[in-house]
Amino acid sequence: MNMPKDAHNAVEAPTKTREAVGVESELAEEADAVQEKPQPVEAPKSRAFDVVVIGGGPGGYAAAVRVAELGGRVLLVEKDDLGGAHVNRGGVSSKALLDSVNLLRWLENAEDFGVEVRHIRPLFDRMMRRQARLVRQWRAAWELFAGDHHVQVARGRARLVEPHVVEVELRDGKVERFKALSVIVATGSSPAPPPVPGGDGAGVLTSDNVWEMEELPSSLVVLGGGYVGVEFAYLFAQLGAQVALVEVLPRILATEDKDISKEMTRLLEESGVRLCLNAKVVGIADYEKQKVVFFEGLNGPGEVVAAKVLAVAGRKPNIAHLGLEAVGVRIEAGRIMADDHLRTSVKGIYAVGDVLRGDGWAHLAAAEGIVAGENAMGGDRRIEREGVPRCLYTSPEIASVGLTELQAQEQGRAIRTGLARFRFNERALIAGEREGFVKVIVSEPTEQVIGVHIIGARAVDLVAAGVLTLKAGLTVNELLATIHAHPSFVETFFEAVKATRHAHGL
């Protein structure tokens, strides 16, 4: 079961059983025509595997595929549908709706491009049907690719009865046990209701069930000013709802660079979102068929009334009833403890994704899954979290990687910053996307880039330049020696790099 030394570089993806071309349209037709085909509940014929993965979200799925690529016998146990919360209850759905409202924004400005469009109006019910169809389509893709990679799937609830024995209660009620040399726990997280009176009452939505709405609420209170809260506040404000956002901290997007937070605050307020900052929610109650959110602010108590409340301020790992503590896995504050190799306190048991932190990024969970899968097959890799991009799909988008200015200062680093605005970018001017900027942070005296922060069109794609820059440890000199396409949005990144010198007379 030893992995070749260069396996993670040399292993080729297995040949697909279907051509990549045409798969998307095929899956769309299947999703529309069949809704959901019932998944098999019979247990896999084998009872012994190299690796059993518990949880079929981004982390678990990536782990199972990687084990299969390395020639391992792998069983993936999932109690619901493959894809986890990202595919089935949030990630795909939110991006689908955000793309709908961004298209609406484009159409409203079509005349600026010499195009006349009449009768523009959002149709919320059709947007919701589209996101549901995309969820079915992408879920079908996961099912297809699991089969292509020879990943066996068991549908049911799993628990560890011994460190290397997993018991699965299948959907048909049968109980089966499987032996494994290694086990990877990747069961994700669930929304945590606000710990206040009325926090779990009817009419308080979460990122799991907000997709069940059939009508656009006239007004909405969003609890939480992090990435998810800001996305939802932007989304519903663009659709015409009266939106208030309540955040206990002094600013939204508190983990982002202060300049990014300041810019998004301005844009949200311009779109009509009421921001209640430094506001601690103390209760939620019903009032004349509406909801009232009570909070304590710097200037005393306050309240916000709306048709619906959306609570997105926290999540909790899904680790109850897995039998982890009984087999010796160390758990603190409701989270699994693991090292940078994703190893838990029990040899042969690994953990990835939200079970380690309560929430996180799908791409980070997938990266951890790959590392855990390789290590379960005899590898010795560690996860590198320093260069994980953070993304927000509003308009303009936000994306960043590395240290913020405040984090660098708190570490006692001598730094310089450079900022370049998209309004001075030729491609952005042509595209009508002049909002936002790129901010770059470099360390002195090496001039190595340690942080990249972007708010603007295509930021989520542009941040790849920052990710590669940090990964390679590139300096200002090395970046300025490159040639890039003109006109292009990425030129603003290089202008920000250049500004780290010009702003200081270098």
How far apart, in whole angstroms, are the C-alpha atoms of residue 310 and residue 199?
Answer: 10
CA dihedral sign, ordered 304, 307, 313, 316: positive
Reading across the β-sheet that carries 290-297, which strands appear in turn? 280-287, 290-297, 300-306
Q: Which residue has the tokens 């936000």?
A: 398
> Could you tell me the residue ranges of all domains in the chain?
39-84+134-190+316-376, 91-126, 204-312, 396-502
How far apart, in whole angstroms, are the C-alpha atoms of residue 409 and residue 415?
Answer: 8
Residue 95, number of CB atoms within 10 A of its CB = 15
Contact call for residues 201 and 273 (beta carbons, < 8 A): no
Contact call for residues 470 and 402 (beta carbons, < 8 A): yes
From residue 274, how far is each of 245, 262, 268, 289, 293 by CA, in Å? 6, 15, 8, 21, 14
Query: Cα–Cα–Cα angle for 72, 78, 83, nearest 5°?
Result: 95
How do residues 4-57 score in pLDDT, each as one tens digit? 333 333 223 333 344 433 444 554 555 454 444 545 444 566 689 999 999 999
Mean pLDDT value of segment 287-298: 93
Residue type present at position 396: P
* DSSP-derived secondary structure letter, 113: G
pTM for this predicted structure: 0.89
How do residues 246-262 score in pLDDT, each as one tens digit? 999 999 999 999 999 99
Assess whether pLDDT exceeds 80 at residue 362. yes
Mean pLDDT value of segment 273-300: 95
Domains 204-312 and 396-502 fall in the same CATH topology: no
pLDDT-derived band at 90 (thresholds 50, 70, 90) equals confident
CATH architecture of the domain 204-312 equals 3-Layer(bba) Sandwich (3.50)
The pLDDT value given to residue 119: 87
How do residues 336-358 score in pLDDT, each as one tens digit? 999 999 999 999 999 999 999 97
* DSSP-derived secondary structure letter, 37: P
Contact call for residues 311 and 206 (beta carbons, < 8 A): yes
On average, the pLDDT of the chain sits at 90
Among 341, 486, 502, 504, which one carries the catalytic annotation? 486
3-state secondary structure 306-352: ECEEEECCCEEECCCCCCCHHHCCCEECCEECCCCCCECCCCCEEEC
> Strands (DSSP E) along 217-299, which ranges?
219-223, 242-246, 274-276, 280-287, 290-297
* DSSP-derived secondary structure letter, 454: E
Q: Give the residue from 76, 56, 67, 72 showing the smallest Cα distance to 8.
A: 67
Q: Are strands 74-78 and 280-287 parallel, antiparallel or unpaired?
A: unpaired
Distance between alpha carbon 180 and the CA centroid of its chain, in Å? Answer: 30
Mean pLDDT value of segment 481-502: 95
Instruction: Give me the percent of the chain exceeding a pLDDT of 90.
Output: 83
CATH 3.30.390.30 fits 396-502, yes or no: yes
Contact call for residues 397 and 453 (beta carbons, < 8 A): no
Residue of 3 and 62 predicted with greater confidence = 62
What residues have CB less than 8 Å from 185, skipping those under 6 apart? 54, 55, 319, 322, 324, 329, 336, 344, 349, 350, 351, 352, 355
Assess whether pLDDT exceeds 80 at residue 197. yes
Assess whether pLDDT exceeds 90 at residue 241. yes
**Is 486 a residue of the active site?**
yes
How far apart, in whole angstroms, are the C-alpha atoms of residue 315 and residue 21?
Answer: 38
pLDDT-derived band at 190 (thresholds 50, 70, 90) equals very high
The pLDDT value given to residue 43: 53
Peptide bond into 191 cis (omega under 30): no
How far apart, in whole angstroms, are the C-alpha atoms of residue 13 and residue 19?
Answer: 14
The pLDDT value given to residue 34: 40
Mean pLDDT value of segment 138-157: 93
How far apart, in whole angstroms, are the C-alpha atoms of residue 460 and residue 256?
Answer: 14
CATH architecture of the domain 39-84+134-190+316-376 equals 3-Layer(bba) Sandwich (3.50)
What's phi and psi for 220, nearest 5 deg?
-150, 135
Q: Give the residue from 473, 469, 414, 474 showing the smallest Cα distance to 444.
A: 414
CA-derived radius of gyration, the chain = 24
Q: Give the residue from 88, 450, 166, 188 showing the smallest Cα distance to 327.
A: 166
Beta bridge partners of 184: 53, 350
